[in-house]
Chains A and B, each alone.
Chain A
Amino acid sequence: MHGINTKKSLNTQNSSTETNNNMSELPTYTFKDFASDQEVRWCPGCGDYVILRAMQKALPMMGRRREDFVFVSGIGCSSRFPYYMNTYGFHGIHGRAPAIATGVKLANPKLSVWVITGDGDGLAIGGNHMIHAIRRNIDLNIILFNNKIYGLTKGQFSPTSDIGQKTKSSPYGNTQRPFNFGELTVGSAGQFYARVPDNNPNDMADIFVAAEKHHGTSVVEVLQNCVIFNDGAFDSMVDKSVREDMLLYLKQGEKMIFGKEKNKGIRFNGRQLEAVTIGENGITEADILVHDATDPNPSMHFMLTQLQYPLPVGVIRSVDSSTFEELVDTQVSASVQKSKFKSVDDLLFSGETYQV
């Protein structure tokens, strides 16, 4: 990428999407092209299947070559994901996927690099890597499967478990206050955050496409049902029977309206966001906020991540700004250009040398 190691640059160019005009055209992929030959081993009914399906559906819509996708994961049920994708994949160690993915992206910024993680993997053991990846704004797409439980280790509470939640390691109820991942992302200077339930694969696929398009770290929190250890954790909000009344589907440039009757909305009362009914208490449509995910000021996005009723889903924040790998690449390329050293030999023999 930086021009000094010609072999490397050639390799990278051959595989990059931008420079392979003379190679075969972008194949038309279907979801099948992204399914690996490995048998999927999640429990029947696990929300992870929906995410896998949505991803395999989304990738053909991204206009990228298959060999340019890299899926990096940590450890957990969720982190098995890369094995099921017919792309490059790396199943790492617990919590470290963002760090591994950072190395992949810095080594070859042209790749489309995805991090697959869980609420334990990404927010407990890997919390440090998570916030630092986000603040650097490296162009990774981070998909966090939040089932509010440790699945793979058979049911201990996680950093997103609710107070009082009974789990194997909290039989009397969880006493640790949870993280809200949306808050954490915005608080870590995140520029893209989306939330999506696991029972709507089409919306999810669209959000994956939006995440890939976004330039910078994209964080997608999937509300994922673990049928075995925390079944129904999100049902009161996301179940098909209630979701229209309980979820706020955010669309860029559109009013924040929700409810089966489309008669409810969100207004800012001067202090905080609140759900109101249009036509009641003198509220008109004009009082309802319009969603702007692209506002650089994160205040509104922060309030949206905190809203509990209705629960906002969709792309809450999406602000374009320079990425870590671009800053690195620009700086390194400029140094290479300006350098009087063309070979390491020039360095070795430079400066204060003497003859014997």
Chain B
Amino acid sequence: MSNDGHMVAEQTEQAKIKLDHVVIRFAGDSGDGMQLTGSQFSDTSAMLGNDIATFPNYPAEIRAPEGSIYGVSGFQVHIGEVEISTPGDDVDVLVAMNPAALKTNFSAVPKGKTIIVDIDEFTSKNLTRAGYDQNPLDDGSLDSYVIIKAPITQLSRESIKDMGLDNTSMNRTRNMFALGMVFWMFSRPLDYTIKFLEKKFGNKPNIFEANVKVLKAGYHYAETLELLPSAFTVLPAKMTEGTYRIIMGNTATAWGFLAAAEKSGKQLFLGSYPITPASDILHELSAHQHFGVVTFQAEDEIAGVCSAIGAAFTGDLAITTTSGPGLALKSEAIGLAVMTELPIIVVDVQRGGPSTGLPTKTEQADLLQAMYGRNGECPVIVIAPSTPANCFDFAYEASRLAMEHMTPVILLSDGYIANGSAPWRIRSIKEMQPINPAPAPAPEAAADWMPYLRNPDTLARQWALPGTPGFEHRIGGLEKEDFTGHISYDPENHEHMVKRRAEKVKRVENYIPEQQIDGAQSGDLLVVGWGGTYGSLITAVKSLHEEGKSIGLAHFNYLNPLPRNTREVFSRFKKIVICELNMGQFATLLRSEFPDFQYLQYNKVQGLPFTVLELNEHFSGLLK
């Protein structure tokens, strides 16, 4: 991101410095409540009309030793008056609750920016735990930063010392002090958080009161503190009018399925086995069984997908959720769903691989597994959401395509958008595209009905459900004769069926939108991306385009089949660069699909998203 510029201050009448966007990171021990602190800050900002993007960074260990490097938990918030598409690269304000938090997050803060530390935590014991030989606050290493040394622990305790709380409870309020300080810095009101605390600690009035006291103490401390640079403000962003909420990618995915179930009149069934970073979808849908959702935590991933196949055979909107290792286990069963031409949705929230890999980090390296990772000629629809909020839309779309075309769909989310959150303009289900699942055959058709009779346009077969008299039929994984569905080993029939299944998926291109381009509609450089990298790519492309460069972005959500105008889009640019968080899987796909173009690649496999800065530099180089 082009951080230069936005810190250029502009005095307002209240002597507040107006910023167009700012990145704040809260970091502390996993017990310090940083996720809560960060989301309070982002939610409050969203309520004020800012655009936001957030990203949590949890430690892989559940309960790492206190004060240790690997126990550090962080939450980054990017708020803006301008459109915000990523949680931001560089941190403008870092809140470090202990030395380990400073150590692990320091490199994200450019020189000249602000770091708030809890000075009370910089004891020699904690410094050693964090691996510091000497205190970085004293040795001059932080001289080119604005360091605010606040006695957060001491002042928190001080402000509630008469309440009779035990030691642990007193210490637990520290995060509210830090939050109060940052609220003041960015001119945010406290009332949203106070309301939140009231709800959270409704039955513990003492704890509620203590937290509010400490929150206010932090706010007033910042106000009276001379060390703190003047207060900033970030004005509301210009966003489309409407009702908004902050939503996380995995929640949006879960809700998209709920909406699709209601819209299509189907019962939602989820068969799943827990795996990071997909488990939250299982949790979310389990919490919403009041919509009639059945969630089945199976004994393994294979049982998860197989139970979904059984539920699809019986007429449910059936899904299974997993991450890369689980997708590998599901391959054989996905082939069964292809063969039986049943609609299931397989959600793969990608993480770093291969094998167990980097469970809590993001990557886009399951694309070819989703495309080809099965025995036989086994095409499925593959689509990918590109922002936390549009996880909703693509879960909905996956459901629509699966049930209208009677074929499995793989939905490729990733750890980055799944755990990230952003404002989402809520639409009523009534406004959403209708879903018309493949119909059950009409009762009078029973006499000469066959299980593989097809819709002539989509080639989808009909959905005759167990329990319906007159349509008793058998399907399975052996090759079928077209129409009758009888087992057939006939060579010609096999080739015919292989082509039919491919054609059925290919024809989906007639039922999905054309590929759009952001920025220049033709010209020098077309940036091509897919899935969760949209935020970084659009930010980089937009800024270069605004500078007058001939650059556009074709960001793909539909990966198989590709939008029908893809070739035409590619032909409008002199250069094409494909950017992916893998070694070039989409590039491989495009080279085989449209070999007549030259594709450049920009790849990163560090378990991290692209930074806008590195993209900017790379694209600028290509545009020279």
Contacts and interface: CB of A to CB of B under 8 A. Distances in A.
B550 to A, nearest CB: 33
Contacts of B100: none
B291 A111 contact: no
Interface string A335-348: 11011010111011
Contacts of A355: 241-244
Contacts of B335: 93
Interface string B291-334: 11110101110111011111111111010000000000000110
Interface in A84-105: 85-93, 96, 98-105
B269 interface: yes
B486 A38 contact: yes
Contacts of A354: 46-47, 49, 243-245
Interface residues of B, number: 77
Nearest to A135: B299
A111 B386 CA distance: 40
Contact of B246 (A12, A91, A352): A352
B426 A348 contact: yes
Interface stretch (B472-480, B575-583, B586-594): B472-480
Given A86-B472, A335-B290, A103 B333 contact: no
Contact of B466 (A70, A91, A99, A341): A70
A129 interface: yes
A86 B473 CA distance: 7
Given A83-B487, A104-B310, A111-B466, A7 B265 contact: yes
B430 to A, nearest CB: 8
Interface in B18-72: 43, 46-47, 49
B315 A336 contact: no
Contacts of A308: none
A16 interface: yes
A107 B344 CA distance: 14
Interface string B411-449: 000000000000001111110000000001000000000
A286 interface: no
A345 B428 contact: yes
Interface stretch (B127-135, B208-216, B253-261): B253-261
Interface string B234-271: 00100111111110000000010011011001110101
Interface stretch (A47-55, A61-69, A158-166, A174-182): A61-69
B328 to A, nearest CB: 15
Nearest to B300: A128
A85 B472 CA distance: 9
A1 B316 CA distance: 11
Nearest to A4: B292
A5 B429 CA distance: 15
B11 interface: no
A351 interface: yes
A5 B469 contact: no
Given A5-B292, A68-B466, A352-B245, A107 B316 contact: yes
A8 B465 CA distance: 11
A153 interface: no
A90 B474 contact: yes
B157 to A, nearest CB: 31
Interface string B277-289: 0000000000011
A348 B426 CA distance: 7
A31 to B, nearest CB: 15
Interface residues of A, number: 71
A28 interface: no
B314 A67 contact: no
Q: Name which of B239, B296, B335 has the most chain A CB atoms within 10 A of its CB.
A: B296
Nearest to A2: B292
B239 A356 contact: yes
Q: Name which of A12, A98, A332 has the most chain B CB atoms within 10 A of its CB.
A: A332
Contacts of B271: 99, 103
A107 B314 contact: yes
Contacts of A108: 314-315, 465-467
Contacts of A8: 265-267, 315
Contacts of A100: 306-307, 309-310, 313
Ranked 9 nearest A-B pairs via Cβ? A91-B476, A103-B310, A15-B467, A339-B290, A103-B307, A89-B474, A99-B306, A2-B292, A107-B314
Interface of B: 43, 46-47, 49, 236, 239-246, 255, 258-259, 261-262, 265-267, 269, 271, 288-294, 296, 298-300, 302-304, 306-316, 318, 332-333, 335-336, 340, 425-430, 440, 465-478, 486-487
Given A2-B292, A339-B290, 18 more contacts: A8-B265, A15-B468, A66-B469, A67-B466, A67-B471, A88-B467, A90-B475, A92-B336, A96-B306, A105-B310, A108-B467, A132-B299, A132-B303, A331-B289, A347-B255, A352-B43, A354-B47, A355-B241
